[in-house]
Amino acid sequence: MKAYKEYMSKIKVSSTLHQRLVSCAGSGESDHRPIIRKYFAVAVASLVLVLIGIFYIPKLMQNNVPPVQDDNSWVLQPSTDTPVPDEIDKYALVFNKANAQRAKDIGIPGHFWQELTDQELNTIFPGLKDTHTLTATANFQSGENGVGLFNIDAYAVSASGLRTYIRIAPDKVKIDYRFEEETNTSDVLGTKVTAGYFETKPNSNGLRNIIYFATFKLSDAAYYIELGGMETEKEALRNEVTELIVLLIEGDPADLNIFHPVVPELREDRLNLDEARSDADFGAYLPKNLPQGFVFEDALRFINQEQNTLSVNWTKGMGYIDWRVSKVDDKDKKRITSVTDTKNYDLALYPIPRADSVPDELREIVDNPIFYIDELTLEAVQARTYEVSDSGDEPGSRMKFSVLYGDILVELRVKGASPEIIFDILQQINRSL
């Protein structure tokens, strides 16, 4: 549903090493020297380089510091800013600028999921178990070819509170951002990493959000990492992304074959109107007679681990009646209101734009209140009715609210039908049960 950092821009060396390198430079004397002095100088310089190679290159190699490349992706320079943790300081990620966000396609046919247990988390993220707090969900795809892992959505929270999104998928993972130019990759412990960053437009205070992200592959598992925050925190964000990449690569690749999912009941069936009315669970809660001019558009019977619904839509020009039937659940119950408590539903109390006029604590219930059918009055339906004059749209009464029949919830959105007709339809359903 989903990034971050500039592979630490440069490798840093200690000030001591920097001074020794600088000390190898010429003394500023004229080039017109006796030949013997030139050869002597060359010999001394060569000896210095050999000594540096003997004492420092093995240490750099031991610490996995990448070599300088011709394209200046890696640059050795003296460390003049605040030191970062030793483990991070070994690496320098190249973060390529991303110029656009991709549209996110989250549709997974036959989708179901399961939360990872502590044992599964340790198996999938062996390098993070001692440094981060982890939560993760495995998403599966069920179809004619059987059941397979689609991806894993995870969050890793650091000791400092940074919450990084991690996605793992078999073979390939989609990047949520697009590069407009050729990208440079980084080498981390022998693994090719493509990293980038995306900057949002400035807010009213002139501050941007910055998002760092990276992708890489370990064995058959593809990884995507994303972390964002204010641009004033970019150093901490870059450091966190880099640390996570190093820890993940140092750990064993995720074993994506540990799951043995059991497919729950799943439905995603397009129905005609007769099939919808015949549904054993919810068909009786559909309107029997529609306002004049409204025609059937479509119906969907949907079941997964969170939803068990029947949705039916009718249209009339630019008007519509959207009808959704389900079992009421705990999260719905906080929207139930009495018709005497008008502050929870009377739109006359809240002029448009309602984002400014509705108190925060009432926003959810005012947006879609739930009435008990035995308490519902025409006045309550009228209080949910309003008109909007939008350019390019045709006029018509609009309303949005829900009605509870026992433990069955009917949610409706209407444009182009009067409150009197809608109230009568709801009462007809109640009488027919």
User: What is each CA distance from 192 to 188, 216, 245, 306, in whole angstroms?
Assistant: 7, 6, 11, 39
Does residue 412 surpass a pLDDT of 90? yes
Give me the pLDDT at residue 29, please. Answer: 37
Q: Considering only CA atoms, which of 8, 35, 243, 277 is closest in space to residue 127?
A: 243
* Average pLDDT for the chain: 81
Tokens coding 271: 């129905």
Question: Tens digits of per-residue pLDDT, 308-324?
Answer: 999 999 999 999 999 99
Q: Where are the alpha helices (DSSP H) in 334-418?
A: 354-357, 363-367, 378-383
Question: Tens digits of per-residue pLDDT, 368-388?
Answer: 999 999 999 999 999 999 988
* Confidence band, pLDDT 50/70/90 cuts, at residue 92: confident
* Confidence band, pLDDT 50/70/90 cuts, at residue 431: very high
CB-side neighbour CA atoms (13 Å) of 125: 27
Amino acid identity at 26: G
Mean pLDDT value of segment 230-258? 93
Residue 77 CA, chain-centre distance (Å), reads: 36
Does residue 120 surpass a pLDDT of 60? yes
Contact 346, 337 (CB under 8 A): no
Rounded to whole angstroms, the Cα distance separating 269 from 225 reads 35
pTM here is 0.64
Lowest mean pLDDT among 4-8, 216-220, 407-411: 4-8
* Confidence band, pLDDT 50/70/90 cuts, at residue 146: confident
* Confidence band, pLDDT 50/70/90 cuts, at residue 56: very low
Does residue 140 surpass a pLDDT of 90? yes
CB-side neighbour CA atoms (13 Å) of 150: 17
Burial grade of 50 (CB within 10 A; 0-12, 13-18, 19 or more): exposed
Give me the pLDDT at residue 100, please. Answer: 78
CA 188, 194, 200, 206 torsion: positive or negative?
Answer: positive
Share of the chain above pLDDT 70, in %: 77
Question: Tens digits of per-residue pLDDT, 197-239?
Answer: 999 999 888 889 999 999 999 999 999 999 999 999 999 999 9
